[in-house]
């Protein structure tokens, strides 16, 4: 019997509802339950694929090629359960489905309305394909009171009514701000937020109160009284040193116990096994070494834009007992200012995925610096394409090499070095694209196999000739140039199984210089660090130690 846990947010956005959902999922899993996590996004975009990462944060790509909210990345990292297309829906998708049904005549002449038609589709999404799960944790994006969120709140209210309150648990995440001038934590915003939630028919069973510091019991009792809750159902969630401390901390605060009590499933003799989470927290707190990694990118203003990347580096740090100090550097600065001085003291350089021309020349300058100075380099997606361009320009005599994405591509002997992908194999089918296609959802998306050549660094890292990684790109390195690039020292150690698409390139004469067309960061987990990142951080440490010795 599947039970549903709805996680809503109040007071302000960015409270970490996604993390809270993921951490609760992990604790329930540690108690032996099967969980699935889902996210409802009330905005009108069909998916975040076309949204600016500076505004929305990273686009997380699932195995089956959905472009989803970054919270799905947290869900995967905390529970190890792969997310799929059906785990993230937006109001845009709901309306798009609804309007096609209307055009097909499915509503048989009836008036199509938010209630029941939109809400029915939302309920269908929440409950679809969930019969094996003990718990479906479903997070609603945004904050209670947002106009576009209303149909979603109404849908979860209806589910509580039809399934019964013992099958549904509403957890509301709020903020208890600390007012420094008064030296007080304030409960009023939480009271108002609960009032707002109750006014649309949803009475929370549990409050998870985010705060900068511990919330004293008297304040929690006050919230409980005003919000009509038992004191033990007002749970504090103070800021933590690391997100990976959330499962153990939430358990210590009683979150899982209260959830299970709500469902009548609590057994005082059973405890979750959280040893592995304690281990992660301990490793993060006691590294033996430290390395500095420069990420030269375009969206360096907000941490969320490269969420999975930061996490993958931290997992690799755990695996190497190394603290990875990430320096987010704006690539634009590398076009005008001295490259060497900006990268001084860095033990490794990384150019992440990206789109468009801004900062491209700066990234190429950083890659050249890494190559010439033997500094470990990892290029992801755009970072791989630019590493190939850098080699072509400076080692293969293709001075004007570029990508048709940036308009500057010289039409060389075989066309642009990096050009628009017009055809690729997906499963048993061929996907085709043209330059006039829509931008949304038309990239090469999701998991694709890659064949690795024996005797290469990539092969040593993966320990396998066949791997599968997730992709999100529209352009590709032109295979016609492989012979000239390989002659210049850049080996293509990984290709799509049909040989049509270059997937991994590595510099033979360099201690660690690897570019990958895919996004390995999407699959890294705290308990299963990605081999590429693990090896990259180890190389950064080796480089640092060698510099020290010199
Ligand atoms: N803009 C490049 C492409 O579409 C790289 C994409 C990426 O880095 N995710 O191929």
DSSP 232: G
Residue 4: per-residue pLDDT: 98
> What is the arithmetic mean of pLDDT over 113-138?
95
Residue 158: per-residue pLDDT: 97
Q: Ligand 1: distance of its center to the CA of 95 in Å?
A: 29
Pairing between strand 513-516 and 35-41? unpaired
Instruction: Tell which CATH classification among 3.60.20.10, 1.10.760.10, 3.40.50.720, 3.40.50.880 matches the domain 287-549.
Output: 3.40.50.880
Best of 297, 352, 354, 420 for a ligand 1 pocket test (most atoms within 8 Å of beta carbon): 354
- What confidence tens digit (pLDDT) does each residue in 508-534 have? 999 999 999 999 999 999 999 999 999
Q: Ligand 1: distance of its center to the CA of 161 in Å?
A: 46
- pTM given for the model: 0.94
- What confidence tens digit (pLDDT) does each residue in 160-184 have? 999 999 999 999 999 999 999 989 9
Q: Ligand 1: distance of its center to the CA of 392 in Å?
A: 18
Atom of ligand 1 nearest to the CA of 475: 10
Residue 69: per-residue pLDDT: 93
Nearest CA to ligand 1 atom 9: 353
Compute the distance between CA of residue 463 and CA of residue 530 in angstroms, rounded to an integer.
Answer: 12
> What is the arithmetic mean of pLDDT over 129-135?
91
The better pLDDT of the pair 408, 60 is held by: 60
Atom of ligand 1 nearest to the CA of 352: 8
Residue 406: per-residue pLDDT: 85
Q: How far apart are the first and last CA of the chain?
A: 64
Residue 409: per-residue pLDDT: 56
Is residue 519 part of the annotated active site? The answer reads: yes
Token pair of 527 as six digits: 């308990």
pLDDT category of residue 262 using cuts at 50, 70 and 90: very high
Kindly state if the Cβ of 471 falls inside 6 Å of ligand 1: no
Phi-psi region of 328 (alpha: psi -120 to 50; beta: other; left: phi over 0): beta
Q: Is 222 helix (H, G, I), strand (E, B) or coil?
A: helix
Residue 414: per-residue pLDDT: 85
Average pLDDT over all residues of the chain: 94
> What is the arithmetic mean of pLDDT over 30-57?
92
Residue 392: per-residue pLDDT: 95
**Percentage of the chain modeled with pLDDT above 70:** 99
Token pair of 384 as six digits: 């791989």
Pairing between strand 429-432 and 423-426? antiparallel
From 298-302, 305-309, 460-464, the region with the lowest mean pLDDT: 298-302
Residue 276: per-residue pLDDT: 95
Residue 53 has pLDDT above 90, yes or no: no
Handedness of CA 64, 68, 73, 75 (dihedral sign): negative
Q: How many CB atoms lie within 10 A of CB 538?
A: 18
- What confidence tens digit (pLDDT) does each residue in 339-374 have? 899 999 999 999 999 998 889 999 999 999 999 999
Atom of ligand 1 nearest to the CA of 353: 8
Token pair of 370 as six digits: 């890494």
> What is the arithmetic mean of pLDDT over 134-139?
98
Only one residue has tokens 């061929």, namely: 430
CATH architecture of 3-280: 3-Layer(aba) Sandwich (3.40)
Residue 13 has pLDDT above 90, yes or no: no
Residue 483 and residue 457 in contact, taking contact as beta carbons nearer than 8 Å? no
Extents of the domains making up the chain? 3-280, 287-549
- What confidence tens digit (pLDDT) does each residue in 377-419 have? 999 999 999 999 999 999 999 988 999 998 665 667 888 899 8
Nearest CA to ligand 1 atom 7: 353
Residue 301: per-residue pLDDT: 67
Residue 315 has pLDDT above 90, yes or no: yes
pLDDT category of residue 54 using cuts at 50, 70 and 90: confident
Kindly state if the Cβ of 388 falls inside 6 Å of ligand 1: no
pLDDT category of residue 193 using cuts at 50, 70 and 90: very high
Is residue 169 part of the annotated active site? The answer reads: no
Compute the distance between CA of residue 469 and CA of residue 61 in angstroms, rounded to an integer.
Answer: 11
Residue 437: per-residue pLDDT: 80
Residue 408: per-residue pLDDT: 63
- What confidence tens digit (pLDDT) does each residue in 141-164 have? 999 999 999 999 999 999 999 999
């Amino acid at each position: 019997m599947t039970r549903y846990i709805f996680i809503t947010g109040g007071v302000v956005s960015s409270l970490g509802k996604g993390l809270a959902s993921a951490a609760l999922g992990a604790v329930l899993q540690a108690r032996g339950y099967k969980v699935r996590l889902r996210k409802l996004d009330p905005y009108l975009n069909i998916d975040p694929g076309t949204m600016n990462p500076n505004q929305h944060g990273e686009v997380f790509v699932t195995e089956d090629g959905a472009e989803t909210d970054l919270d799905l990345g947290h869900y995967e990292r905390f529970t190890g359960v792969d997310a799929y297309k059906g785990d993230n829906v937006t109001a845009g998708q709901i309306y798009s489905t609804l309007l096609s049904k209307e055009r097909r005549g499915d509503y048989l002449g009836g008036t199509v309305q938010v209630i029941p038609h939109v809400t029915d589709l939302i309920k269908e999404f929440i409950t679809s394909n969930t019969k094996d799960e003990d718990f479906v944790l479903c997070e609603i994006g945004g904050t209670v009171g947002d106009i576009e969120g209303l149909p979603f709140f109404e849908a979860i209210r209806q589910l509580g009514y039809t399934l019964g309150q013992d099958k549904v648990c509403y957890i509301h995440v709020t903020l208890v701000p600390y007012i420094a001038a008064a030296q007080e934590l304030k409960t009023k915003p939480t009271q108002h937020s609960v009032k707002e939630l109750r006014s649309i028919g949803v009475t929370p069973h549990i409050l998870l109160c985010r705060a900068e510091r511990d919330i004293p019991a008297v304040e929690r009792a006050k919230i409980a009284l005003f919000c009509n809750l038992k004191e033990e159902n007002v749970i504090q969630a103070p800021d933590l040193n690391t997100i990976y401390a959330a499962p153990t901390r939430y358990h210590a605060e009683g979150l899982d116990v209260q959830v299970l009590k709500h469902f009548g499933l609590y057994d005082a003799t059973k405890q979750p096994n959280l040893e592995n989470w304690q281990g992660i927290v301990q490793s993060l707190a006691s590294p033996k070494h430290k390395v500095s990694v420069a990420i030269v990118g375009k969206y360096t203003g907000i941490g969320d834009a490269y969420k999975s990347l930061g996490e993958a580096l931290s997992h690799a740090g755990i695996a190497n007992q190394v603290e990875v100090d990430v320096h987010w550097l704006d690539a634009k600065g590398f076009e005008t200012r001295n490259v060497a001085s900006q990268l001084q003291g860095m033990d490794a350089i990384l150019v992440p995925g990206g789109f468009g021309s801004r900062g491209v020349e700066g990234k190429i300058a950083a890659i050249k610096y890494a190559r010439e100075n033997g500094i470990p380099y990892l290029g992801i997606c755009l970072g791989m394409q630019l590493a190939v361009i850098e080699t072509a320009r400076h080692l293969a005599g293709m001075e004007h090499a570029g990508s048709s994405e940036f308009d500057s591509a010289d039409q060389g002997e075989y066309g642009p070095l990096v050009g628009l992908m017009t055809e690729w194999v997906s499963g048993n089918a061929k996907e085709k694209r043209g330059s006039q296609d829509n931008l949304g959802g038309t990239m090469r998306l999701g998991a694709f196999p890659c064949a690795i050549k024996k005797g290469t660094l990539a092969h040593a890292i993966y320990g396998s000739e066949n791997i599968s990684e997730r992709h999100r790109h529209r352009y590709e390195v032109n295979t016609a140039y492989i012979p000239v690039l390989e002659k210049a020292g850049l080996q293509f150690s990984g290709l799509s199984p049909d040989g049509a698409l270059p997937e991994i390139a590595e510099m033979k004469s360099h201690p660690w210089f690897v570019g990958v067309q895919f996004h390995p960061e999407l699959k890294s987990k705290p308990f299963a660090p990605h081999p590429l990142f693990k090896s990259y951080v180890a190389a950064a440490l080796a480089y640092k130690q060698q510099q020290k010795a010199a």
